[in-house]
A and B are shown apart, each in its own frame.
Chain A
Amino acid sequence: MKNMIYAEGVHKYYDTGEVKVHALRGLNLSVKDGEMVAIIGPSGAGKTTLMNCLSGLDTISDGKIWLDGKNLVNMSDKEKTRMRAQKMGFIFQFYNLLPVLTAVENVEVPLLLSGKSKDARRRAEKALNIVGLGHRYDHRPSALSGGERQRVTIARALVNEPDIIWADEPTGDLDSKTSERILDILVKLNEMIGHTMVLITHERDIAERADRILYMENGVIKKRLK
């Protein structure tokens, strides 16, 4: 199976003006197509930084990153944006939905941005149905519970049928019962659709649902736990 994500010798420095932080220290990583990988580690290990760098949300200071065989480092901001719109889906801890749009409109956004407006509404509704929110199409985020909002986020991440899904602490803001339900959905989707998924978390039991668990500390992958 081909490598969907491949990173080699990745370094990331943050210069805050007062202090310089070495967040990633020559990190190496590869994720196979369709694989679900969980990255765990303590706070400050560099998990989110890694995800941001691998997804093109942030730039790296040194190293190489290939996504689906394409060199991310050489891409312009425009190309990275296009790639995110077409090939990636994101799930964040705090949902980050557009409050002025309804659930279905929020899900529809990535399709419209990547120019797939033809059957955008139908696909958005389908995605919401998959996550069990068929009855909540026209509700705005403020009218949804935390779990429901996160499910809208998942639907939004899925709607574009992306190759990679990035999930950064997707259950961090939810109670354990809701967290369980969200994870069920993510795992089921991974099995069903077969996209690559990178799950960032600091909880071991959540990570256990992934195919592979990597432990990260001080900006490098220290060991494989599963």
Chain B
Amino acid sequence: MMLALIGLLVLFVIFILVDAYRYKVLFKIGVRNILRRKGNTIIVIMGLMVATAIISSSLSVGDTMDSMVEDEIYEEWHLTDVIIYNVTAEGDYIPMPYRTYNHMKSGIMEIVENVEDVCGEIHGHLPIFNPETALVRPNALFIGMDFNESDAFGNFYVNGEVYEPALGDMEIFIDERLSNELDANKGDYLWLINPEQGDYLNLTVKEVIDNSGRAAFGGPSKIIMNLEDAQMALAIPDQINFVRVASIGDVHEGALYSDQIASDIDELVIQVNPAYRSLGVGESKNQILETYRQDMSLFTDLFFIFGTFSIVAGIILAINIFVMLGEERKSEMGMARAVGMKRISLQRTFSYEGLVYAIAASIVGIFVGIGVTYTIFYLLEDVFVNVGGGSSLLDYFTVKIESMIIAFGAGFILTMGTIYFSVRRISNLNIVRAIRDIPEPPLSKTSSKFFYMALLTLVFGGMATMMGMRNEMLAPALTGTSLLIIGTGMIFRRWIGDRISFTVVGVFLLLWWLLPLQRYGIFVGYEGGLPIFILSGLFIVTAGVLIVMLNGEIITNLIEKVFSSEKSFKAVVVSAISHPIKERFRTGMTIFIFALIIFAITVMGMIVGIFDTNMALIIEEQSGGYEIFGVTMMGVSIDNIHELIENETATPNLSMDYFNHIDTAYSDSVDIYGSSDGSLAIGIDENFVDNSTFGMASYLEEYDSARDVWNAVLEPNSPYVITNAPGLGGGGMMGGGAASQVGAGESVGAGIDDELELGSIITFINRDGEAVEKTVIGFMEQNLIQGFFMSKETAENDFGITSTTVFFFNVREEYDPDDIARIINQEFFEYGLQTIVVDTIIRDALSAAFMFFDLFQGYMALGLVIGIAGLGVISLRAAHERRMEIGIMRAVGFERNMIRYSFLIENSFITIVGILLGTVFGIAIGWLLWNSLFNPMGWEFTIPWFSIISIGIIAYGAMLLTAMPSANKASKVSAAEALRFD
């Protein structure tokens, strides 16, 4: 693929160069034009490189993310290439006798190729407590291993030095992270608690080891211990529950063998022996790498999608620049045509010139894109270090040569495409008008070429609409219908002229994109996604620009009226505004760039603003009025938490005074018919319903209120359950999201996240293997605790669940929930009680999201730079083009300052119209998003005026700075000289 791309590019360049050799003089003209105005050349290259830069930046984001996950996976897995284990529905590893494991190991070593060694281990999660500091880690990973079994899995390290592991009875290694968390060091005692057994092991820290080499597996914060001690901790003597396999070759080579080894072990060893079938091949190193690479590609896609606006802006700028180059060279091109240069020769000249620009721009673009990515990662440091808990992204900064080639290729093709479009337009000149530098007449109403284009637009529009409707996809459906609107306008101009037809087109496009279509039953349920955001921007902004540009006279008249008393200023303003209105194509394109970018930034700002304003509401929704959620280890029940808290001996640092109330719930895993994953049943009681404020995203119509829904669930032998709203899966502290867990694609049909709806009947399998059917009558707004909510009575009677494992703490206002959560963890460590502080977790998550949004906004702001640069180009060109006119203005009494103001007003007009269009449309789309996504949840609508106005002021200020040189240049034109100007 890569070679094919390189080959195609090389062939293309060779083809053009061979062609250039045949037409040396045209090539000479083209190349010399590049050197003609160096300033222009720089601007052209800067404009053309944007597309490449965005592509290069997106790809280098992907490369760096890949590199980060690859490095972390290689580091964590080290020489382990395949893991074999299985877990129960509760998440416990299924053990197997050591003897059976030994047989299996022999089988693997004998049959499976490329295996270097196999080792059996115990893996588990238990609370670990430091009695000295009273610090606890409720769910610490511990790994028990036989240090003598194999050294094929790498070394242990202490402070970077190889360390020879040897542990006595009840001795352990801990890694640095756990050492810090528990404030435990070499020689300290730690208690590893088994809440189910009600027992603990008193362990001595022999060494604080590095989280690297063989000890890296499973991530940081772990305990390494003797196999026998680990077996004792889980009360499974002479058994192992986790098998690691190392392949031949080093850390990286191992990944290459890992898939083959995993599949051979599964097919040739595990499946042929019933004794091994309780185990399964967990993952191979390569499989993990691929999964993470796919996850990380989301970043590449997001940056690319948000960069699309800047790419479009760059393309428009490039077209604008080329059109101006064409205008600048109009008379000489006319002359060339007169003396026998064919139209194709003109195209050739520009194409040769364009080829050099495209190559230069693509090369520059690659490096600018890489620079942009580096800057973004530099700014992202905080997000990852503070929120993600990861290491510095810059350490992983990578750009693959393949990515550079793809960026170059894609950028080059886009650039050449843009150049080709522009060149076709330029070369289509009328020789006589070109020679005499006479402006082109307006397009004839009866132009047959335009009529055919209109028909073509209608055909494309119809096809896209049908495709969209057939596949229920919003992007082609809306694009197609928009093209139908445009095509109709193009046809009607024949009879009613440009102004009326395209103004009507603009109005219809705006209505089409800005009206909440779904409310009118149009395209209901169609698949949308991010492309709609981009398309809406393109069509809405096009519509706005059409309306403004075709009704420019109204603006001029309005301004004339406003300044009617200030005669001299009126003259300046009117002459300033009339230019951009006259130059419709050029002005329209520039306004389009400004409006498009401001639109995208505004929409993004609106989303951030809405989230920010509704932060308290989000926290309220997620918390249900509780500050802390607590969950014990699976199956470990705290039946009497209120009593324990009131008992000073049991929990000396806790008191009920800290709380308004504490509510509890039963919970345990349940199987669902047709699903291999299972889910959680959560049994609640009347106290929970009375005290909590958890809202419902939706519920069956037959209920009047959320309270009625809860009451229905609380009824004796209730056949009803409540669960989390579909699409809210993931990110919870427990459960896996009912919606995403229920037999996806099985008992209740494919894509349960979409299929699960109010009234869905879920078939659970209880512990006696009986089917229990429950109907979903409500979807909760919260998604931190995921599962099926039912009454405690139902949980007990239908599922045999009586363990109180979920706790909801309502903390009194005067206490800090973070402090209280820490005390709860310490006091209930023996239950493995883990807590989260709702406010903290949501604020952290949202602030990370906000930072990403800010960065995306910054990414899109690149387009703003393009817009401002574009305006600078036009302004400079205008100063040059209008020397004669400026001379006349000076001759008839315009002062220098008036000329300067005239230029600045002209640029201000373009910028302000662009900013206003972008802002208004951005707010409108923001409102639509709010109306369809957030309003149903009761969220408040807000417009972040401060950020919107700030962006507008920055854009306007930057424009003034860019336009000032040309305004000064124009004001300094000498009247006498200008009137002699050729």
Contacts and interface: CB of A to CB of B under 8 A. Distances in A.
Contacts of B342: 78, 81, 113
Interface string B307-336: 000000000000000000000000110111
8 contacts: A17-B445, A77-B343, A81-B341, A90-B339, A94-B331, A100-B35, A100-B36, A110-B339
Tell me the interface secondary structure of chain B in the complex.
helix
Contacts of B33: 100
B561 interface: no
Interface stretch (B22-30, B411-419, B505-513): B22-30
B954 interface: no
A101 B32 contact: yes
B345 interface: yes
A44 interface: no
Contacts of B430: 58
A158 to B, nearest CB: 12
Contact of B338 (A77, A82, A84, A173): A84
Given A78-B342, A81-B340, A92 B25 contact: no
A57 interface: yes
Nearest to A108: B25
Contact of A92 (B435, B444, B445, B982): B435
Interface in A147-173: 156-157, 173
Interface of A: 15-17, 48, 52, 55, 57-58, 77-78, 81-82, 84-86, 88-90, 92, 94, 96-101, 105, 108-110, 112-114, 156-157, 173
B432 A57 contact: yes
A58 B332 contact: no
A100 B27 CA distance: 12
A216 to B, nearest CB: 17
Interface in B414-457: 430-432, 435-436, 441-442, 444-445
A152 to B, nearest CB: 12
Contacts of A94: 331, 982
Given A97-B332, A100-B33, A101-B32, A156 B343 contact: no
Nearest to B339: A110
Nearest to A110: B339
User: Which of B25, B340, B430, B436 has most chain A Cβ within 10 Å?
Assistant: B340
B615 to A, nearest CB: 58
Nearest to A109: B25
A96 B331 contact: yes
Given A96-B331, A109-B339, 19 more contacts: A15-B444, A17-B441, A17-B444, A52-B432, A57-B435, A58-B430, A77-B343, A81-B343, A82-B340, A85-B339, A86-B340, A92-B335, A92-B338, A98-B29, A98-B332, A98-B335, A100-B35, A108-B25, A156-B339
A136 B393 CA distance: 62
Interface in B1-49: 24-25, 28-29, 32-33, 35-36
B438 to A, nearest CB: 10
A113 B340 contact: yes
A112 to B, nearest CB: 4
Contact of B441 (A16, A52, A55, A86): A16
B334 A96 contact: yes
Nearest to B441: A16
Contacts of B441: 15-17
B385 to A, nearest CB: 54
A133 to B, nearest CB: 18
A99 to B, nearest CB: 7
A156 B430 CA distance: 21
Contact of A105 (B25, B339, B435, B445): B25
Contact of A98 (B24, B35, B336, B442): B336
B78 interface: no
B405 to A, nearest CB: 33
A85 B331 contact: no
Contact of A100 (B29, B343, B431): B29
A112 B341 CA distance: 10
B435 A81 contact: no
Contact of B431 (A17, A58, A82, A105): A58
Contacts of B345: 113
Interface of B: 24-25, 28-29, 32-33, 35-36, 331-332, 334-343, 345, 430-432, 435-436, 441-442, 444-445, 982
Nearest to B446: A15
A147 to B, nearest CB: 14
Contacts of B341: 81, 85, 109, 113
Given A82-B340, A84-B340, A109-B336, A96 B435 contact: yes
A84 B339 contact: yes
Contact of B335 (A77, A86, A90): A90
A97 to B, nearest CB: 7
A15 B447 CA distance: 12
A58 to B, nearest CB: 5
A97 B338 CA distance: 12
A208 B243 CA distance: 109
Contacts of B35: 100
B339 A112 contact: no
B33 to A, nearest CB: 5
A96 B340 contact: no
A92 B334 CA distance: 11
A94 B340 CA distance: 18
A88 B441 CA distance: 28
Contacts of A108: 25
A73 to B, nearest CB: 17
A85 B33 CA distance: 23
Contacts of B343: 77, 81
Contacts of B436: 48
Contacts of A109: 25, 336, 339, 341
Nearest to A146: B982
A57 B339 contact: no
B807 to A, nearest CB: 80
Nearest to B337: A81
Contacts of B444: 15, 17
Contacts of A89: 339
A86 B335 CA distance: 15
Contacts of B29: 98, 100-101
Nearest to B32: A100
Nearest to B437: A94
Nearest to B336: A98
A193 B331 CA distance: 29
A120 B436 CA distance: 28
A88 B336 CA distance: 13
Nearest to B36: A100
A109 B25 CA distance: 7
B829 to A, nearest CB: 82
Contacts of B435: 57, 92, 96
Nearest to A87: B340
A222 to B, nearest CB: 23
A110 B335 contact: no
Contacts of B28: 100-101, 105
A18 to B, nearest CB: 9
Contacts of B431: 52, 57-58
Closest 5 interchain pairs by CB?
A: A85-B340, A96-B335, A100-B32, A112-B25, A113-B340
B338 A57 contact: yes
Contacts of B336: 98, 109
A48 B431 CA distance: 13
Contacts of B445: 17
B340 A114 contact: yes
A16 B430 CA distance: 14
Contacts of A105: 25, 28
Contacts of A86: 340
A86 B336 CA distance: 14
User: Which of B29, B35, B335 has most chain A Cβ within 10 Å?
Assistant: B335
Nearest to B344: A78
